Chain A
Amino acid sequence: MTWFDSFQIAIHNIQHSKLRFTLTCLGVVIAIATLVSMVSFGAGLRRETVGNLETRELFSSFRVVGARQAQNLRRFRGQPPAERESPALDDALVKKLSKIPGVQSVQPDIVLPVQLKNGNHAYLTRVQGGGPHIAPLSPFSRITDGRFLSGVSGREIVLSYWVAERLGFNPPQAAVGSTIELLTDRMREEAGEDDPPIETIRFPYRVVGVLPRVIVTQRNPFYMGTIIPLDEARKLWDQSLASMAALSSAIAAEQGRGREYPAIDVRVDDVANMDRVRREVESWGNYTFAIADEMDTIMRAFLILETILSVLGAIALLVASLGIANVLIMSVMERTQQIGIMKAVGGTDQDVRRIFLLEAGCIGMVGGILGLISGWGLTRVADFFIRRYFEQHQFQQVPDLFDLPLWLILGALAFSTAFSTISGLVPAQRAARIDPARALRTG
């Protein structure tokens, strides 16, 4: 008997027990839908965190950290303390870094506390120095209201969504185009006897853009909400007293060492150059930190998450398989006579076995296809609610946290069909062993 004929008989049998077939399939559908939506969630999270463009950018950037932070990191990573003092993170180092072949941009980490004022709305926050060279990094690349900084100087500011809201802009996007005030403190240069030694300076800044509110995975780890051009930040930072960094940099300046940055971010033009550039910087005695170092840990966490999700789905499938086996054994018993007839008119054990295996396989296949569709539907429903939740909280550009890659589609189908066929093995073997003489005995 050909496979096609066996298949036709299997389909015939299925058509004549529709309700039973449907119910058994339903078990598989639920199992596969669970499996697919769970794994889809794992895959979506993986894509959003370690698979997306922003993350890939991270693989080509690292941070040179100052002596104190280096010490902490070494302790955290169980490394021995530095043997020699690391070179200062000053402008000389910035220059030296930018000269290494393969380095695309060098960005000293300048962050200072300021007060922003819009009319009678004031907000104390931190601003970071930046420029067009960081525009391709998320979330700056995702800016939809206004634009990003056009240069490293000029009184332009890009506000985070949150800060714009605090400053009384409603909606926050309305801030684009308006001018706000930036206030910071500095040592008074020429102090009279009655003057306090610290004075507040204020500058008008034009808001050129408002950053969208995006979820954590769409930010870069060095993200700071509000940005002004780097040179402006440097000028303010040189004078500002309001941060530890500035203080230590002032001390360093007093000791004649020049101003020091807490950290310097370096981007290379190609991931392939990353190791070489980092090694060179470390050979100077500086300590570097890259997200890529943490990748193993992150990937392991994902593997664990995905394993747990798959195991949950597999358990559902296992339960469904027991259902299939149960139903098929029942149907073998019910169809003993039909099996006897098939054998009496020439069916071999193999023919009978195959018909039952195909019936089991069909249940798995149909259940798998419908399960995929329902699983996908489930993720869409979940996505709708997740999206609505985030949007109600003013997040923009919420990513799809579910992913349905081809390997998952094919895998789920193969898994479901294989599982069902395997659960059909015992019933099929029983059917194949039925003794036709006994099955058709009358007297």
Chain B
Amino acid sequence: MSSLRLESVSKEYSMGDRLVRALDSVSLEIQAGELVGIAGRSGSGKSTLLNLLAGMDRPSSGAIWAGNRNLAAMSSRELANHRQHTVGMIFQFFYLVTTMTALQNVALPMAFSGVAASQRLDRARSLLESVGLRNREDHLPAQLSGGEQQRVAIARALANDPEFLLADEPTGNLDSATAQEILSIFKELNAQGRTIICVTHEMELFSGIVGRFIRLQDGKVAN
């Protein structure tokens, strides 16, 4: 079990000749086993922060420690490795591969991480079963409801059994009843020991399950 730690991390985007500072020397730590909410207004840098934790992007300055390894110093291959094994991503718009069935989508990360082909489908099936979608494995994303797609996405995020689940507004596109289902899945996964970091601007909805909120404002931690 390890933690995720940011040491004065900044991230700047260049928009033409203008620099946009999305994160401004952010330092924070997330312990193993936590269920943390990241809140803040739109444009406050939540997604940027999550992407840095996921190894989808590199900070402009600062260090991001996953255990004793600094993501800021990793090659793109090492970052891919981090995405394969250490984190699982969940998005607001689900981002399933539209041409692949639910089962194929869940099995995809295992193809990248090199799980033997014979084991992939078995594991993907049991993951679908755990999110209650065993009977929908051959359905394409378009044949599934939003809530179902998000559950497939959760199963996919768990495919390589990562330590951290990183969710970016996972309920932002769901009605409240469906959102509640997703929350209870998160709660259960956290109870099983998985560390979950969840970006949201619906603080009331999440306040029941998260241990704490990290509030971002204009790229800074605002506590």
Contacts and interface: CB of A to CB of B under 8 A. Distances in A.
Interface of A: 1-2, 4-5, 9, 12-13, 16, 337-338, 340-351, 435-437, 440-443
22 contacts: A1-B114, A4-B117, A5-B111, A5-B117, A340-B95, A341-B97, A342-B112, A343-B56, A345-B89, A345-B159, A346-B83, A346-B113, A346-B160, A348-B112, A349-B76, A349-B77, A349-B80, A350-B77, A435-B57, A436-B57, A437-B51, A440-B95
A437 B57 contact: yes
Contacts, number: 79
B180 interface: no
B100 A443 contact: no
A347 B112 contact: yes
A349 B79 CA distance: 11
Contact of A343 (B81, B83, B169): B83
Contact of B54 (A1, A4, A337, A344): A344
A124 to B, nearest CB: 81
A273 B100 CA distance: 72
- Tell me the interface secondary structure of chain A in the complex: helix
Contacts of A442: 47, 91-93, 168-169
B80 A348 contact: yes
A346 B109 contact: yes
Contact of A441 (B42, B47, B84, B109): B47
A280 B93 CA distance: 92
A440 B91 contact: yes
Contacts of A436: 56-57
Contacts of B99: 12-13, 16
A2 B115 CA distance: 10
A442 B113 CA distance: 27
B15 to A, nearest CB: 12
Nearest to B120: A5
B132 interface: no
A312 B98 CA distance: 42
Interface of B: 42-43, 47, 51, 54, 56-57, 76-77, 80-81, 83-85, 89, 91-93, 95-100, 108-109, 111-114, 117, 156-157, 159-160, 168-169
Contacts of A346: 80-81, 83-85, 109, 112-113, 160
A393 B179 CA distance: 85
B108 A443 contact: no
B93 A12 contact: no
A443 B112 contact: no
Nearest to B159: A345
Contacts of B51: 437
A344 B111 contact: no
A345 B112 contact: yes
Nearest to A17: B99
A429 B170 CA distance: 32
Q: Give the most central of A12, A340, A440: most B CB within 10 Å.
A: A440
A337 B56 contact: no
A2 to B, nearest CB: 7
Given A435-B57, A436-B56, A344 B112 contact: no
A345 B155 CA distance: 12
Contacts of B97: 338, 341-342
A348 B83 CA distance: 10
B108 to A, nearest CB: 6
Contact of B83 (A2, A344, A350): A344
A344 B56 contact: yes
Nearest to B156: A345
Contacts of B89: 344-345
Contacts of B95: 337, 340-341, 344, 440
B197 to A, nearest CB: 15
Given A342-B112, A346-B80, A443 B42 contact: yes
Nearest to B91: A440
A277 B113 CA distance: 74
Contacts of B108: 342, 345
Contacts of B91: 440, 442
Nearest to A16: B99
A343 B76 CA distance: 11
Nearest to B108: A345
Q: Give the most central of B42, B100, B160: most A CB within 10 Å.
A: B100
Contacts of A343: 56, 80, 83
B93 to A, nearest CB: 6
Contacts of B111: 1, 5, 9
B85 to A, nearest CB: 8
Report the 9 A-B pairs with minimum CB-CB distance, sorted nearest first: A346-B84, A346-B112, A345-B109, A348-B80, A437-B57, A16-B99, A437-B51, A437-B56, A5-B111
Nearest to A6: B111
A347 B83 CA distance: 8
Nearest to A350: B77
B47 to A, nearest CB: 7
Nearest to B172: A442
Nearest to A443: B42
Contacts of B57: 435-437
A4 B118 CA distance: 13
Given A345-B157, A440-B91, 6 more contacts: A1-B114, A340-B95, A341-B95, A346-B113, A346-B160, A442-B47
B171 to A, nearest CB: 14
A348 B47 contact: no
Contacts of A344: 54, 56, 83, 89, 95
A348 B85 CA distance: 13
A350 B84 CA distance: 14
Contacts of A441: 47
A443 B43 contact: yes
